Structures are given as C-alpha cells and as structure tokens.
Amino acid sequence: MAAKNAPVLRKALKRKGPTLEVERALWAQGNDVVVGVDEVGRGAWAGPLTIGAVVLPKDRRVNKVRDSKQLTEREREVLFGRIADWCVAWSIGHATHGECDELGMSEAQRLAAKRAIDGLGLVPDKVLIDGKWDFIGGGKTQMIVKGDASCLSISAASILAKVTRDRMMREADQHFPAYDFAWNKGYPCPRHKTALRGLGPCPIHRRSWAFMDDIGWTGAQRYHREDPQGSLF
C-alpha cells in the first residue's frame, strides 16, 4: 500500500509549484471535466510508453505536488496514493514496447493517450497537455509549455504515470536482472548498454530503435516496420 503522509519538500522544491490557474479559468467558462495528461517513457529503450490522465476536484487540494522529474522516487511513491485518492477520476494508458515498434512513437503516444482518457469513464471538455504537440486531437486540447511544472493537473498526471511505469520496470528487473531496469527504468545508461552489447535485447526492448544497429554481432536484428506504400523505415 502506498504511503499516505505528505513528503517533506526539499528546500529547492519549496519555491512556487504548479497551480490551478488554468483549470479555474476553464471551469469558469463551463468546462466541468478538465483532464490533465502527461507521458513518461518516450525516450526509453525498453518497456512501455505510459500516459497518465487525471481529473482534479474543484474544492480540495493535495499539497506538495510537483513535476515528477523534480521529485525523488521516494517522494513520488509517497505522493502517488494521496493523488489517486484526491482525483475525481484518474487512469493510466500504455503503449507496449511492441506497439512502439510497430506504430512508431508518435502513433504509440496517441494510442496510449486514448487508452488513458477512455479509462477515465468521463467525457473531457478540455484536455491539458505539456509542450507544443497535440497528440490528443479532437479540438479539445490546450497545450501548455512547461505545463508539467506549472499546471497542477499535468503535474499530478506526471506522478501517476511515472510511478506506475517505474513499478512495471522494477517488476521487469526481476525477470531480466542483467539490464538493471530497477535502476534505469529502461533508459540508456552504461550498465544497460553493456548488457545489450553482451546479451542482445530482452523481450521488452524496443527493437526498432537505433541502438539495435550497434549490437548486430549478437545476432539480434533491428526491426523495420512497413509504411502503407510497402517501403521499410
């Protein structure tokens, strides 16, 4: 069971955190279901691409929420249960390593986002996402540069997504210990690269990625998907 006590914020995190400024403006305009969305795992070499989606209440707050990248693993774990209990609704969507290979990362991100939003059981009036790329579509998206640090819904989604995916990668580490997934979560690092050079990819590696070209002597071949015209890329 996740810990329920709020973490003690380090001094560096006590400066201004994310707010409900954007959400309140949208609620005032009649958008009752405002969904914050964030992704994790796009740059990993192994494991799923994971997206969190949350709907926050208008009348309650959970303090000390920050962008997941600013928090330690312990701080995120402590906040996970508090955020999950606080949300009106929340959901996690994944695109598997195989879907990342077969679809490409852009389409995989759209798929994971659709699964996350569909899992809420609510129809969004507005969807808030971090950055400049609308991977949701449908005319309901509001993009916010650095939204994971400034918008509370997106920050909350980032923590739920990050903790969920990290737990999956720690579980994968028990099956594939040589790659050190419990520590690197599937991202490139020296030990991960060394294991790939010696052993080749394991079943949860993304085999369409360029790192596969560097380990061809292991016998593992890079996956190339076909486009609709039949050419490989």
Q: What average pLDDT does the segment 3-23 reach?
A: 69
Q: pLDDT, tens digit, for every residue of 79-129? A: 999 999 999 999 999 999 999 999 999 999 999 999 999 999 999 999 999
- Please indicate whether residue 24 or residue 224 has the higher confidence score (pLDDT): 24
Q: Is 40 helix (H, G, I), strand (E, B) or coil?
A: strand
**Pairwise CA distance, residues 155 & 20, whole Å:** 11
* The predicted structure's pLDDT at residue 69: 87
> Which DSSP helix (H) or strand (E) runs through 92?
strand 89-95
Q: What is the pLDDT of residue 5?
A: 60
Cα-to-chain-centroid distance, residue 194? 26
Q: What is the pLDDT of residue 2?
A: 41
For the chain, the average pLDDT equals 90
Q: How confident is the model at residue 33 (pLDDT cuts 50, 70, 90)?
A: very high
β-sheet bridge partners, residue 10: none
pLDDT at 229: 47
* Strand duo 89-95 + 141-144: pairing: unpaired
Single out the residue of 57, 105, 83, 100 nearest to residue 163, CA to CA: 83
Alpha-carbon distance 167 to 182, whole Å? 8
Mean pLDDT calculated for residue range 221-227: 81
Any idea where the domains of the chain sit in the sequence? 11-172, 176-218
Indicate the range of 50-54, 95-99, 102-106, 227-231 predicted with least confidence. 227-231
Task: Give the H or E element holding residue 79.
Answer: helix 73-86
- β 126-130/34-40 pair status: parallel
User: Sign of the C-alpha dihedral, residues 77, 81, 82, 83?
Assistant: positive
Q: What does the pLDDT read at residue 98? A: 97
pTM, two decimals, is: 0.89
The CATH code for residues 11-172 is: 3.30.420.10
Q: Is the pLDDT of residue 60 over 70?
A: yes
Residue 15 confidence (pLDDT) above 70: no
Strand order in the sheet with 34-40: 89-95, 49-55, 34-40, 126-130, 141-144
- Cα angle 72, 206, 115 (rounded to 5 degrees) comes to 70
- Separation between Cα atoms, residue 118 and residue 166, nearest integer Å: 22
pLDDT range class, residue 3, cuts 50, 70, 90? very low
Distance CA 111, CA 56 (A): 23
Find tokens 């999950």 and name the residue: 84
Q: What is the mean pLDDT of residues 50-60?
A: 95
Give residue-wise pLDDT tens across range 76-89: 999 999 999 999 99
